[in-house]
Amino acid sequence: MMSTQLQSYLTNAQTRQLDELIAWLRIPSISTISAHQPDVLAAAQWLVENMRQSGLENVELIETEGHPLVYGDWLHAGTDKPTVLVYGHYDVQPVDPLALWHTPPFEPTVRAGQGYRQEGDDLYARGSSDDKGQTFIHVKAVEALLQTTGALPVNIKFLIEGEEEAGSQAIGLYVPAHVEQLAADLCLISDTGMLAPDQPVITYGLRGNWTAEITVTGPSQDLHSGVYGGATHNPNQALCELLAALHDKDGHVTVPGFYDQVPELSDAERALLANVPYDEAKLLADNGAPAAYGEPAYTVVERIGARPTLEINGMWGGFITEGFKTVIPSQAHAKLSCRLVPNQDPAEIGQLVEAYLQQLAPPTIKVEVQGRPGSPAYTASLASPAIQWAAAAYQAVFGVAPIYKREGGSIPIVNKFQAALDIPIVLMGFGLPDDNLHAPNEKFYLPNFYKGIETSITFLQACGAQTKTD
């Protein structure tokens, strides 16, 4: 339980901590747009400064081939206390379509909660939920503990990256090369969601991913569609034909071999996932689509968490601005991403998709597939005591036990933490299903920001109550 001293510290600190988060959110740290590179750097520097002020030590900005990492620690709890590694990301997704934002993405705005939330404000800004707001929870938990007690119940290390939304390449190289610096007993991550304000979730699985850009080339330059149409395969049309062949009418991916390594769900896991109070009606209420889609033999929760997918993230080609132009474009483009489940190897899936696209390609066009290194899926063992401390912390602060769920999103670095550092990972999220991640009007439900800080403190205290035996 938190002391009254801590509680009154947090009450007094609320407005300032929110103001700090707002200042951080003003920096447009979009990692995948090169023009924003200075902003990504500025967001890292801002975090360095804030972590120092919050009482963390050895805080440094670590240059990489890509965007910088931010490291900081506090290691005075004693060698008999566990060390917690906190991970998060300070980069954010692009903001387009900008016109659909009710307030500008980098002018954070607090508005009263709507929808199924009875009370409480939302903070609207790109990165508010994913993941600056959730990362900041742990920085402010450390601040509160150090300011009130002068110490932390555990040793702690922060490693915060700036290219999670770009595939986590730099941190992926850094972690295996710095296992001593990062040595810890468990890893704590808040970059996932809850089901509702009163239903916390411990995520025990994440999907992996593989992404690629596809280019279809027909004629060597754009052509008059009257002069050449009918005798030249239009690349836009050819691209549609190719992409349309990647799924059957039930939503199965048709790429040969795509499901070969996919394990069938056990009855026990299907029963666990059946406890998740989420169904087609809730899905449609959250996403606004006219009807659900996907493999009929699987529930919505299974489709999202435990089945692989292939998505078309973007497609373009030809004349798309105002006016009209009767043209056969030279090229058409698409961006694809696959979500992968355990046992699927991203590189192998990439080869299968590429081979199938080449096999489908008619002789009238050329197809080029530029794949990027992906990341495999992740599953946690629910048996680790750290998961139990997280469950107890949620229970103490939210008054409800968490449910256990597999998530459809990816956090590419988690496997490397597990493999290189050999530690359990706790995915303790505070986002909500209607936070509009990656979409216009991203927001963070502010009561979850404040409760998140309390949950983090409670979790760290539970960790600290353990004495290490090794």
Return the sign of the alpha-carbon dihedral for residues 14, 129, 200, 191.
negative
Chosen residue from 131, 302, 434, 454 binding ligand BES by CB under 6 A: 131
Chosen residue from 191, 407, 434, 435 binding Mn ion by CB under 5 A: 191
Select the span of 42-50, 184-192, 194-202, 354-362 touching Mn ion (CB under 5 A): 184-192
**CA nearest neighbour of 207 among 374, 336, 438:** 374
What number of other Cβ atoms are within 10 A of residue 406's Cβ?
A: 25
In the complex, the smallest distance separating the C-beta of residue 203 from ligand BES, rounded to whole angstroms, is 6
x/- string (CB under 6 A) for ligand BES, residues 150-189? --------------xx-x----------------------
Is residue 122 at the binding interface for ligand BES, with CB under 6 A as the rule? Answer: no
Contact residues for 161 (Cβ-Cβ < 8 A; gap 6+): 67, 69, 70, 87, 88, 89, 90, 91, 168, 170, 171, 413
In the list ligand BES, Mn ion, none, the entry touching 167 (Cβ below 5 to 8 angstroms by class) is ligand BES
Q: How far apart are CA 239 and CA 138, in angstroms?
A: 46
**CA nearest neighbour of 57 among 178, 132, 151, 198:** 151
In the complex, the smallest distance separating the C-beta of residue 195 from Mn ion, rounded to whole angstroms, is 18
DSSP structural state of residue 160 = E
357 versus 413: smaller Cβ distance to ligand BES: 413
Query: Which ranges of 216-329 would DSSP assign to H, the alpha helix?
Result: 225-228, 235-244, 267-274, 280-287, 300-306
Chosen residue from 121, 185, 191, 442 binding ligand BES by CB under 6 A: 191
55 versus 167: smaller Cβ distance to ligand BES: 167
Chosen residue from 308, 412, 424, 464 binding ligand BES by CB under 6 A: 412
In the list Mn ion, ligand BES, none, the entry touching 121 (Cβ below 5 to 8 angstroms by class) is none
Question: 367 forms bridges with which residues in the sheet?
Answer: 216
Is residue 442 at the binding interface for ligand BES, with CB under 6 A as the rule? Answer: no
Chosen residue from 318, 409, 433, 440 binding ligand BES by CB under 6 A: 409
Where b means 16+ CB within 10 Å and e means fewer, 332-360 reads bbbebbbbbbbebebeebbebbbebbeeb
Select the span of 101-109, 191-199, 302-310, 391-399 touching ligand BES (CB under 6 A): 191-199
In the list ligand BES, Mn ion, none, the entry touching 192 (Cβ below 5 to 8 angstroms by class) is ligand BES
Q: How far apart are CA 246 and CA 251, in angstroms?
A: 9
Is residue 91 at the binding interface for Mn ion, with CB under 5 A as the rule? Answer: no
x/- string (CB under 6 A) for ligand BES, residues 200-219? ---------x----------
93 versus 456: smaller Cβ distance to ligand BES: 93
Select the span of 112-120, 140-148, 363-371, 404-412 touching ligand BES (CB under 6 A): 404-412
Is residue 435 at the binding interface for Mn ion, with CB under 5 A as the rule? Answer: no
In the complex, the smallest distance separating the C-beta of residue 196 from ligand BES, rounded to whole angstroms, is 15
Is residue 193 at the binding interface for ligand BES, with CB under 6 A as the rule? Answer: yes
In the complex, the smallest distance separating the C-beta of residue 192 from ligand BES, rounded to whole angstroms, is 4
**CA nearest neighbour of 423 among 85, 152, 177, 69:** 85
Instruction: Tell me how far the alpha carbon of residue 219 is from its chain's centroid.
Output: 39
Check: CB of residue 94 under 8 Å from CB of residue 108: no
Instruction: Tell me how far the alpha carbon of residue 42 is from its chain's centroid.
Output: 21
Tell me the residue nearest to ligand BES as measured from the CB. 409
Q: How far apart are CA 61 and CA 77, in angstroms?
A: 24
- Tokens at 146, concatenated: 């150090």
Is residue 130 at the binding interface for Mn ion, with CB under 5 A as the rule? Answer: yes
DSSP structural state of residue 264 = P
In the list Mn ion, ligand BES, none, the entry touching 407 (Cβ below 5 to 8 angstroms by class) is ligand BES
**Which residue's structure tokens are 């696959």?**
338
Question: What is the contact surface with ligand BES in residues (CB under 6 A)?
Answer: 130-131, 164-165, 167, 191-193, 209, 407, 409-412, 437
Question: What is the contact surface with Mn ion in residues (CB under 5 A)?
Answer: 130-131, 191
